[in-house]
Amino acid sequence: MASESIKIGIVGAGAMGAGIAQVAATAGHLVNVFDTSKEALAIARKSLKKLLSRLVEKKRLTDSESGHIFDRIVWVSTLKDLAGSNLVIEAIIENLEIKKKVFSELESLVNKDCILASNTSSLSIAAISSACSNKSRVMGIHFFNPAPLMPLVEIIPAIGTDNKLVDPIVELMKKWGKTPVRVKDTPGFIVNRIARPFYGEALRIYEEGWEGIEEGVVGFATIDWAMREIAGFKMGPFELMDYIGNDVNFAVTESVFTAFFYDPRYRPSITQKRYSESGWLGRKSLRGYYDYSENADQSNPVKDEKMGIKIVNRILSMLINEAVDAVYLRIASIDDIELAMTQGVNYPKGLLAWGKELGYDKVLEQINYLHRIYNEDRYRPSPLLVKWAKES
């Protein structure tokens, strides 16, 4: 089927919805973007026009290409306008009841062959599909922000999804220039599950004055420096949380923690909760773990290599253990897990390859060390990590 004949519906004109619409329109589709707020639609339309103009200025698009992309998107204020869609992607607030209401209404409007998808980052696809009488055509299609730039898309069939519909969506995402990975319908999917220790363990190190290190030395800047300069991550955990937004990051952590029946491995941080409650959300509020106001003094990292290596080993071992456990629990294939972490969150290496490089026996040794100190289930090793450590 030609791109031009596949009509795309988008529910939500926020950053994600508008970004997905841009991707679909760039691929040649006619796109209807719905939002209950006419103001949100106007803002999204204006922002897209400005963005496309910048791409023309940078010679990434011609005037003609920019005009065609813009003209393929129609901004609509009634859900009925999505009735002729072949694929509808919902990209609204992470609230299960609101999503279920939207899917129930959509099902009554679209034709029987239309695929209904959610862009949720952490909610159960099965729970969303429960609002529909025909669950077979409901799945997750999770883009990463900003959608036009981030290559990864997680494709999530629920237990009731017709598997025959998955391959065509995978192929469609490839035509959109994306890198699709298949993942089981579990909390956080691949990226938001495996990445939890990047934030959570960094917060834990900050909160506890780890291993008797002088109070205040292991600050945000020091942890970020270690993860950037020693481990090779593009951004440290606190820089990244400030970029994402503490409110958003905390909400995802809380959602994953709750969905996993309060597994201590995913326990949220009181520090992040307090920052979120205080409105210190990061860059968007000009204050988070760092002060982004004009002429603000920034704290400098303590560049102690020995301490930095300790920080890296602790966070990295937790990340690798999480990735290995995802393989053990058949959340996704090894290849898809590696793709997800390198292309979804730009990790310098795939975590499974990294674990092999370091030696799974060394990773297990670090996890067991933490478990002995804290005696918490948070630091339990994956059974597969134990197996691979014996074989390494």
Q: Which domains does the chain have, with CATH numbers?
A: 3-182 (3.40.50.720), 192-391 (1.10.1040.50)
Structure tokens at 147: 């959608």
Catalytic residue among 85, 129, 142, 249: 142
Active site residue 142: yes
More confident position, 392 or 310: 310
Two tokens, residue 26: 């760039």
The mean per-residue pLDDT over the stretch 331-356 comes to 96
The residues, ordered by sequence, that sit 6+ positions from 336 with a Cβ below 8 Å of its Cβ are 181, 182, 183, 190
Report the distance separating Cα 253 and Cα 199, nearest Å. Answer: 9
Residue 392 binned pLDDT confidence (cut-offs 50, 70, 90): confident
Catalytic residue among 90, 107, 154, 201: 154
Q: CA triplet 94, 23, 233: central angle to 5 degrees?
A: 70
Q: Which two tokens stand for residue 149?
A: 């730039």
What are the tens digits of pLDDT across the range 163-198?
A: 999 999 999 999 999 999 999 999 999 999 999 999
For the beta carbon of residue 212, count every other beta carbon within 10 angstroms. 6
Mean of per-residue pLDDT scores for the chain: 94
CB 322 within 8 A of CB 380: no
Task: Find out whether 90 and 102 touch, Cβ atoms under 8 Å.
Answer: yes
Instruction: Convert the pLDDT of each residue in 22-81 to its tens digit.
Output: 999 999 999 999 999 999 999 999 999 999 999 999 999 999 999 999 999 999 999 999
| 154 among known catalytic residues | yes
Per-residue pLDDT tens for 96-119? 999 999 999 999 999 999 999 999
357 counts as catalytic: no
Whole-model pTM: value is 0.93
pLDDT-based confidence at 209, cuts 50/70/90?
low
Spot the catalytic one: 118, 122, 124, 192. Answer: 192
Q: Catalytic: which of 32, 118, 119, 121?
A: 121
**Could you confirm whether 192 is annotated as catalytic?**
yes
